[in-house]
């Protein structure tokens, strides 16, 4: 995997990090006497390729610095891994800021990256959990179009669809259009209402990309880290008014892993991780004969010189 310009990546990560520091979760200076030798940490992962790769990224860096790392890839969804963190069954797990916030506080209304990050620490206090610095990488839903559609109609943001809405069909997973970011939000945030819709079930992402490429829909709602975006040259429409809740990758720790030395090492991974990088990691590990999440993570960490 090709290394990107470190200045650009670190600048973006710093912007997110500064927001998080301002919210009260700044990284504590590491104690040089506090090393990983003899410290056991279990890293959890949800049952998705992306989450398993992320768990390996964080776990391998810790293991490289002397921590005794175990992995629990069967920890389940958020309703299961929150109690697992609280009880010490797992000590650390990668999650997404928006989903974590709304899981901790169902009444939350923050949507932009900065607002979500600012609200997250207080929401986690009752759960006795700790969020480390979030990555620039955002795995939220995205409105995407083909490059041909974007160029022909001068559409580069969700708001631009207003000029073509009566000729546009938006494809989305079943239930999306009735949810938090669907019809009601599109009207309230971008004044969009005259478009057609098509809901697709089953393996929705694959089917939606196919529908987009064949012209059955003009806009598809798929995860922003879907490999098909890069493979097919799709255009992710900008969302300047934060219709979609930000989902920056964020490591979440229980009490045992909330250590200055662990934060420092885990933050070094997050500082390098952009949406494009995460999309490429997913691409590397996809397919039945692709390399394992462990190998994908190791190659990326080596490329970033995080295992030196």
Q: What is the mean pLDDT of the chain?
A: 89
pLDDT beyond 90 at 5: no
Task: Look at residue 18 and tell me if it is in a domain.
Answer: yes
In degrees rounded to 5, what are phi and psi of residue 219? -135, 135
Question: Mapping DSSP to helix (H, G, I), strand (E, B) and coil, where does residue 164 land?
Answer: coil
Q: Work out the end-to-end distance of the chain between its first and last CA atoms, rounded to an integer number of angstroms.
A: 17
Assess whether 67 and 112 both reside in one domain: yes
Please tell me the chain's helix, strand, coil percentages from 3-state DSSP, rounded to the nearest 5.
45, 15, 35
For residue 283, give the nearest of 54, 56, 93, 50 by alpha carbon. Answer: 50
pLDDT beyond 80 at 17: no
121-176 confidence digits (pLDDT tens): 999 999 999 999 999 999 999 999 999 999 999 999 999 999 999 999 999 999 99
Report the alpha-carbon distance of residue 1 to residue 277 in Å, rounded: 9
Task: Look at residue 308 and tell me if it is in a domain.
Answer: no
State which of 203, 236, 269 marks the end of a domain: 236
Report the alpha-carbon distance of residue 161 to residue 214 in Å, rounded: 19
Report the alpha-carbon distance of residue 105 to residue 168 in Å, rounded: 35
Task: Look at residue 241 and tell me if it is in a domain.
Answer: no
Q: Residue 35 — very low, low, confident or very high, per pLDDT cuts 50/70/90?
A: low
Assess whether 24 and 102 both reside in one domain: yes
pLDDT beyond 90 at 22: no
The tally of domains found in the chain comes to 2
Q: 79: which residues sit within 8 A by CB, 6+ positions away?
A: 103
What's the domain range around 294?
Answer: 6-138+249-303
Look at residue 9 in the predicted model and tell me its pLDDT.
36
Q: What is the mean pLDDT of residues 75-96?
A: 95
Q: pTM above the 0.75 mark?
A: yes
Look at residue 289 in the predicted model and tell me its pLDDT.
76
Assess whether 26 and 175 both reside in one domain: no
CATH code for the domain of 23? 3.40.190.10
DSSP state, 216?
A: S
CATH code for the domain of 169? 3.40.190.120
Assess whether 10 and 108 both reside in one domain: yes
Assess whether 145 and 128 both reside in one domain: no
Assess whether 86 and 220 both reside in one domain: no
Write down the H helix ranges in the chain.
Answer: 6-20, 49-64, 78-87, 97-104, 113-124, 147-153, 183-190, 204-214, 227-231, 260-270, 275-285, 293-303
Report the alpha-carbon distance of residue 260 to residue 29 in Å, rounded: 6
Assess whether 227 and 103 both reside in one domain: no
């Amino acid at each position: 995997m090709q290394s990107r310009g470190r200045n650009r990546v670190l600048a973006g990560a710093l912007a997110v990090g500064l927001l998080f520091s301002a919210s009260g979760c700044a990284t504590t200076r590491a104690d040089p006497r506090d090393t990983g030798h003899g410290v056991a940490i279990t890293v959890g992962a949800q049952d998705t390729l992306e989450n398993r790769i992320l768990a390996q990224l964080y776990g391998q860096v810790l293991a490289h610095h002397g921590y005794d790392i175990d992995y629990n890839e069967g920890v389940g969804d958020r309703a299961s891994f929150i109690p697992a963190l609280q009880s010490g069954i797992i000590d650390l797990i990668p999650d997404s800021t928006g989903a974590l916030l709304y899981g901790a506080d169902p009444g939350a209304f923050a949507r932009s990256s900065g607002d979500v990050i600012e609200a997250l620490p207080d929401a986690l206090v009752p759960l006795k959990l700790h969020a480390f610095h979030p990555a620039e990488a955002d795995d939220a839903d995205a409105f995407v179009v083909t490059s041909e559609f974007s160029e022909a109609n001068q559409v580069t943001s969700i708001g631009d669809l207003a000029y073509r809405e009566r000729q546009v069909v938006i494809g989305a997973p079943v239930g999306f259009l009735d949810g938090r970011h669907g019809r009601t939000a599109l009207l309230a945030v971008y004044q969009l209402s005259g478009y057609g819709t098509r809901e697709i079930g089953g393996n929705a992402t694959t089917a939606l990309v196919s529908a987009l490429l064949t012209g059955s829909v003009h806009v598809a709602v798929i995860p922003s880290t879907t490999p098909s975006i890069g493979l097919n040259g799709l255009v992710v429409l900008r969302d300047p008014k934060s219709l979609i809740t930000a989902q920056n990758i964020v490591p979440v720790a229980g009490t045992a892993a909330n250590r200055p030395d662990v934060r420092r090492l885990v933050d070094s991974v997050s500082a390098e991780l952009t949406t494009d990088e995460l999309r490429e990691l997913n691409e590397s590990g996809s397919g039945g004969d692709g390399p394992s999440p462990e190998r994908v993570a190791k190659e990326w960490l080596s490329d970033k010189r995080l295992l030196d």
